[in-house]
């Protein structure tokens, strides 16, 4: 009887945990020039969205890329605001929007490439230094096999 209660208890409380499993990308991928430009923009603290007024600048939270590597989307935390550390679903939704628009492909999936400055594709666990230039970023991506 105790085993049944323990099983029910574990079953109930396991459903309340938030899981990001399956959202991070796996496999070989080569980022397109467009995706690399988006990654540079994502990593910067400059303007992300000109139409947002005071909220146009901020730091990147999650960066998603299509499985083909051609299209990317991301979410950022507006300057001066407090945001959740992982907005994976919003980044994937942004990526999917651009995939549908530019690739006209409703089946291609998007997966998370980075959280913050940390590349998580293939469980890479590489943090991009804050003072990295675009050239430095390209070298890093090349060394990691993403270019």
Decide if 11 is inside a domain. Answer: no
Mean pLDDT, rounded, of the chain: 80
Decide if 17 is inside a domain. Answer: no
Decide if 4 is inside a domain. Answer: no
Decide if 101 is inside a domain. Answer: yes
Q: 45: pLDDT confidence band, cut at 50, 70 and 90? A: low
Decide if 64 is inside a domain. Answer: yes
Q: How many domains does the chain contain in total? A: 1
pLDDT, tens digit (0-9, with 9 covering 90-100), for 57-91:
678 899 999 999 999 999 888 776 777 666 688 89
Structural domain span for residue 80: 23-143
Across residues 113-129, what is the average pLDDT?
93
pTM, rounded to two decimals: 0.78
DSSP string of the chain, one letter each residue: -HHHHHHHHHHHHHTTS---TTTB--S-----HHHHHHHHHHHSSSBS-GGGGGGGBEEEEEEEEETTSS-EEEEEEETT----S--HHHHHHHHHHHIIIII--SS--EEEEEETTEE-GGG--EEPPTT--HHHHHHHHHHTT--
């Amino acid at each position: 009887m105790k085993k049944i209660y323990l099983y029910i208890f574990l079953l109930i409380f396991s459903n309340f945990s938030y899981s990001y499993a399956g959202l991070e990308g796996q496999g070989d991928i080569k980022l397109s020039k467009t995706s690399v430009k988006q990654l540079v923009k994502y990593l910067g603290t400059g303007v992300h969205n000109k139409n947002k007024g005071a909220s146009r600048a901020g730091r990147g939270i999650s960066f998603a890329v299509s499985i083909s590597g051609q299209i990317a989307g991301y979410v950022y935390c507006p300057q001066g605001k407090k945001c959740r550390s992982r907005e994976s679903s919003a980044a994937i939704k942004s990526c999917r929007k651009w995939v549908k628009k530019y690739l006209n492909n409703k089946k291609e999936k998007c997966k998370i490439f980075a959280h913050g400055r940390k590349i998580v594709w293939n469980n890479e666990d590489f943090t991009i230094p804050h003072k990295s230039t675009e050239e430095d970023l390209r070298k890093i991506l090349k060394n990691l096999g993403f270019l």
